Structure 1
Amino acid sequence: MGKHLNRARSVFGSDTRGMLEGGRHALLHTRSLEFDELRPYVPGDDVRDIDWKASARSGDVLIKRFVSDKHHKVLLVADAGTNMAALAPSGERKCDIATHILGAIGLITLGRSDEVGMVYGDARGSSNVRLRRGESHVERLLQRYHDHSAQQRNPSDIACQLTYVAEHYRHPMLIVVVSDEPEPDPTLEDLLTRLAARHDMMWAMVADLPAVAVGPDGGLDVATGRPVLGVAATDPRVVAAYRRAEQQRAARIDEMLTRRGIAHTTITAGDDIRSRLADMTRVYTRAG
Structure 2
Amino acid sequence: MRFSMGKHRAALSRMGLGAAASEKTSATDPRIHVSLSHLRGLAPAARAVSFLPRQPATSVLQGRHRSRIRGRGLDFEELRDYLPGDDVRAIDWKVTARAGKPYVRVYTEERDRPTLIVVDQRMSMFFGSVRNTKAVTAAECAAIAAHRVTAQGDRVGGIVFSDQDMVELRPGRGQAALTRMLTAVATANARLSATAPTVTPMALNDVLKSVRKLAIRDHLVILISDFDAADAADAATERHLGTIAQHNDLVLAVVRDPTSAQLPEAGTITGTDGAKQAELNMSDAQMRSDVLALSADRLAQVRTWQNRIGLSVLSLSTAEETLPQVVQALGGVRR
What TM-score do you get using the length of structure 2 for normalisation? 0.61
Q: Does 2:145 align with 1:111?
A: no
Residues 156 and 91 of structure 1: CA distance in aligned 2, closer, same or farther (over 3 Å): farther
Q: Does 2:38 align with 1:4?
A: yes
Counterparts of 1:1-288 in structure 2, within 5 Å, are 3-9=37-43, 12=45, 14-16=47-49, 18-21=50-53, 27=66, 71-85=112-126, 87-122=127-162, 124=164, 126-151=166-191, 154=199, 155-182=201-228, 183-208=232-257, 210=259, 212-213=263-264, 216-221=267-272, 223-224=274-275, 226-229=277-280, 232-269=281-318, 271-282=320-331
8 Å contact kept, 1:175–1:201: yes
* Equivalent position SS for 2:138: helix
Instruction: Map Cα deviations across residues 158-212 of structure 1 (whole Å, 9 max, x no partner).
Output: 3221111113432321101111135442221111111111111111121145273
Q: Distance in 1 between matches of 2:324 and 2:306?
A: 20
- Out of 73-82 and 201-210, give the one that drifted further: 201-210
Counterpart position of 1:60? none
Q: Distance in 2 between matches of 1:202 and 1:214?
A: 35
Q: Distance in 1 between matches of 2:248 and 2:294?
A: 31
What is the count of residue pairs matched by the alignment? 239
8 Å contact kept, 1:174–1:201: yes
**Structure 2: which 5+ residue stretches go unaligned?**
1-35, 55-60, 68-108
Q: Identify, as 1 or 2, the structure richer in helix.
A: 1
1:113 to partner: Cα distance: 0.8
* Equivalent position SS for 1:234: coil
Q: Distance in 2 between matches of 1:135 and 1:214?
A: 49
1:134 to partner: Cα distance: 2.1
1:116 to partner: Cα distance: 0.2
1:94 to partner: Cα distance: 1.8
* Root mean square deviation of aligned Cα: 3.2
* Equivalent position SS for 1:77: strand
What TM-score do you get using the length of structure 1 for normalisation? 0.70
1:260 to partner: Cα distance: 1.2
**Structure 1: which 5+ residue stretches go unaligned?**
29-67, 283-288
8 Å contact kept, 1:76–1:176: yes
Q: Distance in 2 between matches of 1:208 and 1:157?
A: 21
Counterpart position of 1:37? none
Q: Distance in 2 between matches of 1:172 and 1:235?
A: 50
Task: Give me the identity figure in percent.
Answer: 16
1:118 to partner: Cα distance: 0.8
Instruction: Map Cα deviations across residues 3-56 of structure 1 (whole Å, 9 max, x no partner).
Output: 13344357x45323x43425677648xxxxxxxxxxxxxxxxxxxxxxxxxxxx
Matched residue type, 1:14: R
1:101 to partner: Cα distance: 0.4
8 Å contact kept, 1:202–1:280: no
8 Å contact kept, 1:79–1:122: yes
Residues 278 and 241 of structure 1: CA distance in aligned 2, closer, same or farther (over 3 Å): same
1:110 to partner: Cα distance: 2.6
Instruction: Map Cα deviations across residues 212-264 of structure 1 (whole Å, 9 max, x no partner).
Output: 349722224161352352xx321123213432342233122212123211111
